[in-house]
Structure 1
Amino acid sequence: MSIRNWIDKHYPEPNIYRWIGIVLEGISAAVLVFLMALTCIDVAGRYLFNNSVNGAFELTQIGLAVMVFAQMPLITWRGSHVVVDLFDHLFGNRIVKVLGIFSVLIVSSSFYFLAVRIYELAERSLRRGEVSEYLKIPTGYLTEYIAIMSWITAACMLTYGAYRVLKDDTESQPLGD
């Protein structure tokens, strides 16, 4: 299978969204590889040389934050959230769509206002010069990244999330797609 066919199969989004998805998943993959290597080196250092990697815990925390928040817009855009539809068969299609739009508005506005507050905390952190405990990495930049990714997630939910609810497609999506 050629790279072009693989990209078309795994990234069905149109135009720029496809490349944003590739970049965000590339960031997540690179961070995951870094975390695996860091953990292996840290464990080997502890048991073989009786010396661990300084700041491995902080780097792991930062890496997990980068990885999780890089995936949030993609999960939202693709509609890959866990959805429990216990009562959908009891209500009509119209009521389910109204409830879906209501949940899209709640989730997107929650992400938006959460991002506003997180960004305020990031600005305060940068003004105060707050740094991590061992490696002295400025924490405000990571907090700004989290706020920006939360805004992007809110936009994804508001646009494409609403589109997914409103489109007239009643067939179920296979597991894993």
Structure 2
Amino acid sequence: MRLVIGVLCAICLIAMMGLTVADVLGRYIMNAPVPGATELTELLLAAVVFMGLPAASIDADHIAVDIVTSRLSGLRAKILDLLIAVVSAAVLALVGWRIWIVGDQIAGYAGTTPTLKLPLAPVAYASAALCIIAAVVTLAVAARHRRA
């Protein structure tokens, strides 16, 4: 699964890079920028960020400040790790829920990007779903580490 997510993120990053290069070259050499380049770059960036959430959760690779946890050992460290995982999952689920609500609002007025008229609600729904998936993965990884 990690490999699939990594490949998808890499494809999006390469597409962003190619699009940016084409837009800059078109703008400064031929005086013709790529129509909707900014919109596509924003959508690709959202894809990379939200696809990266489950990948980071799979590896338990979220940013951590271990000033307190490095001084703990044994049962206390495991309890704190579990508590942090539960709180992280709750925050991810909350963010996913709120993004879903925003997606409903966007769908209600049929929101689209300004230039290319791409619908935005599916992006919001996909982002919300990926947050929820990351929350579930975070709990599953915590449960697996707790048993180990």
Question: TM-score, length-normalised on structure 1?
Answer: 0.77
CA distance in 1 between partners of 2:18 and 2:120 (Å): 23
User: Please, which runs of 5 or more residues in structure 1 have no aligned partner?
Assistant: 1-19, 169-177
Q: Which amino acid aligns with 1:93?
A: G
1:62 Cα shift? 0.3
2:7 maps to a residue whose letter is G
Paired residue for 1:6? none
Aligned to 1:67: 48
**Residue 149 (structure 1) aligns with:** 130
Deviation digits for residues 9-62 of structure 1 (CA, Å, limit 9, x no counterpart): xxxxxxxxxxx3333222211111111111111111111111211111111100
2:101 partner letter: E
| Residue 112 of structure 2, aligned match among 113, 131, 140 | 131
Structure whose residues are more often helix by fraction: 2
Distance 1:46 1:86, change over 3 A: same
Match of 1:94 in 2: 75
The 8 Å contact of residues 69 and 80 in structure 2, kept in 1 or not, is answered as: no
Percent of pairs with identical residues: 26
Displacement of 1:89 after TM fit?
4.2
TM-score by length of 2: 0.91
Match of 2:35 in 1: 54
CA contact (8 A) 2:89 2:138 kept: yes
The secondary structure found in structure 1 opposite 2:136 is helix
Q: What's 1:175 paired with?
A: none
Per-residue CA deviations over 1:79-131 (Å, capped at 9, x if unaligned) read 12222212234333211111111111111011112211211221221121011
Of 142-151 and 116-125, the range deviating more from structure 2: 116-125
- Is contact 2:2-2:58 (8 Å) kept? no
Q: CA RMSD in A?
A: 1.5
- Counterpart residue number, 2:57: 76
Contact in 2 for aligned 1:108/1:153 (Cα 8 Å):
yes
Q: Is the partner of 1:84 in helix, strand or coil?
A: coil
Say if 1:73 and 1:152, in contact at 8 Å, map to a contact too: yes
Structure 2 unaligned regions, length at least 5? none
The alpha-carbon distance between structure 1 residues 27 and 43, as it changes in their structure 2 partners (threshold 3 A), is same
Partner of 1:133, secondary structure, is coil
Which of 1, 17, 21 is the aligned partner of 1:40? 21
Q: Specify which of 88, 91, 98 is matched with residue 117 of structure 1.
A: 98
Q: Structure 2 CA distance, aligned partners of 1:113 and 1:89?
A: 28
Aligned to 1:29: 10
Contact 1:46/1:52 (8 A) holds in 2:
yes
User: Which protein shows a greater Rg?
Assistant: 1
Whether the aligned pair in 2 keeps the contact of 1:73 and 1:153 (CA below 8 Å) is yes
Give the aligned residue type for 2:53. M
What amino acid is the match of 2:76? Answer: I
